Structure 1
Amino acid sequence: MRASLIQIAVDEGESVESRRARAAALVREQAGADLVVLPELWTTGAFAYEEFGTEAEPLEGPTYEAMAKAASDAGVWLHAGSIPERDPSGPLYNTSLVFSPSGEPAAAYRKIHRFGFDKGEAVLMGAGRDLVTVRLPGTTLGLATCYDLRFPELFRGLVDAGAETLVIPAGWPERRRAHWTLLAQARAVENQAFVLACGTAGTHAGVPQAGHSIVVDPWGEVLAEAGAGEEILTVEFDPGKVATTREQFPALKDRVL
């Protein structure tokens, strides 16, 4: 399987409309990949809290339309990162979108763990409730977003639901980059699954981003890692290694809780 992680830069001088068009063009350039992944809240920036309300979209809004078309044009499965979603009932959500190679919606995941403690995303957005998996030819994706990476029980739930490849878009800050790499490897090892973690480059509302998108195999080996700037990280991996790893070292069978 070939996956391309688009570590797009968020520049405050670039409009949301321009970045949306640029992201769609980058997706189209990945024709030939099986799976393409964008980061968390790349339209606004994950720390641009004041933009969440003004740039929030309905689920089937302009980003949905642009990404569905890009997925169809490229003929790829597309995890389109996440957007600030405005639910018709009023709340905002940090919502990830997944499209099939025909541009049809395959899944939407509302981020469960909101970052910020008593400010920012934690108070501006509602919490999702549902674990979400997506069946692709050859593997099942388990969806999580950024701060979710710190909560291993969520990933255990995804594995119990059949996940073999854990996809994690993020807007992770540079000052905690060591945690990003460590946690991505930990989630891969403890769940004997591939981890595809796609971050952003640039600066969100004055917060430098870590970049360093990473792909980790079920043994914890880093297959590919990006640098700090805008970059497309492409890697070939064998989804069958999940079953092989779980058979050769059946630690998941010894779970008690």
Structure 2
Amino acid sequence: MRASLVQFDVDPFEPVAARRERAAGLVRSLGDSDLVVLPELWPVGAFAFESFTTEAEPLDGPTAEVMAAAARDAGVWLHAGSIVERAADGALFNTSLVFSPDGALVRTYRKIHRFGFDKGEAVLMSAGTDPVTVPHPKATLGLATCYDLRFPELFRALVDAGSRLFVVPAGWPERRREHWTLLARARAVENQSYVLACGTAGTHAGVEQAGHSIVVGPWGEVLAEAGPDEEVLTVDLDPARVDMVREEFPALKDRVLGR
């Protein structure tokens, strides 16, 4: 299974429409991948709170339209990162979009844990409620977004739902980059699963982004890691290794709490 993480540079001076087309071009260049992943809130910037309301869009809005076409043209499964979704009742959500190779929107995930400590995303956006998995033909994917990485309960729920591989788009700040790497590896080790954590490059509303997208194996080994700048990180994975690790070291069978 070949996965490509697009560590996108969200340039605040680039028009959103141009940014969508640039992202679509990168997706189209990755037609040899089984899964392509974009980061969190790349159309607007994860910390550009003042733009959330003006850039919010419905699930069939311009970002979904452009990303559906890119997935179809490339013939890839595409986790298109997340958008600021405006629901029918006007509520805003941080919502991930997943497209199949025919361009169909097959899953959405509304971020459950909102960051901000009573500021920013935490007050501007509503919270999702349900864990979401994706039936990718090579491995069931479990979806999480950025701050979710700090909450292991969600990842346990995804494992119980059959996930073998976690996909985590993010807009993670540079000043907490060590947490990013540590938590990605922890979620992989404790759940004996792959973790594909795709961050952004650049600076969002004055907040320098960590970059350093990372792919972690089910034993906790770092399989690939990007640098700080825009980069496409491609890695070949063996989904069967998840079952091998779980059989060789069956820690998940000894769970007591949360059964």
Q: Which TM-score applies when normalising by structure 1?
A: 1.00
Q: Does 1:191 align with 2:195?
A: no
Give 1:137 shift.
1.3
Alpha-carbon separation, structure 1, partners of 2:241 and 2:15: 41
1:239-250 equivalences under 5 Å are 239-250=239-250
Alpha-carbon separation, structure 2, partners of 1:15 and 1:205: 15
Give 1:33 shift.
0.4
Q: Which runs of 5+ in 2 are unaligned?
A: none
Alpha-carbon separation, structure 1, partners of 2:98 and 2:132: 11
What is the aligned residue count?
A: 257
Give 1:106 shift.
1.2
Give the corresponding residue for 1:46. Answer: 46
Alpha-carbon separation, structure 2, partners of 1:165 and 1:227: 22
Give the corresponding residue for 2:77. Answer: 77
Give 1:130 shift.
0.8
Alpha-carbon separation, structure 1, partners of 2:237 and 2:76: 16
Q: Does 1:147 align with 2:147?
A: yes
Q: Secondary structure at the match of 1:156?
A: helix
Alpha-carbon separation, structure 1, partners of 2:184 and 2:232: 18
Q: Secondary structure at the match of 1:83?
A: strand
Give the corresponding residue for 1:200. Answer: 200
2:18 aligned partner, one-letter code:
S
Give the corresponding residue for 1:130. Answer: 130
Q: Secondary structure at the match of 1:9?
A: coil
**Alignment RMSD:** 0.4
Q: Which TM-score applies when normalising by structure 2?
A: 0.99
Alpha-carbon separation, structure 1, partners of 2:105 and 2:13: 31
Alpha-carbon separation, structure 1, partners of 2:62 and 2:46: 18
Runs of 4+, deviation exceeding 6 Å: none
Alpha-carbon separation, structure 1, partners of 2:30 and 2:250: 36
Q: Does 1:90 align with 2:90?
A: yes
Alpha-carbon separation, structure 1, partners of 2:171 and 2:27: 19
Give 1:71 shift.
0.2
Give 1:223 shift.
0.3
Q: Secondary structure at the match of 1:201?
A: coil
Give the corresponding residue for 1:254. Answer: 254
Give the corresponding residue for 2:215. Answer: 215
Identity within the alignment, %: 74
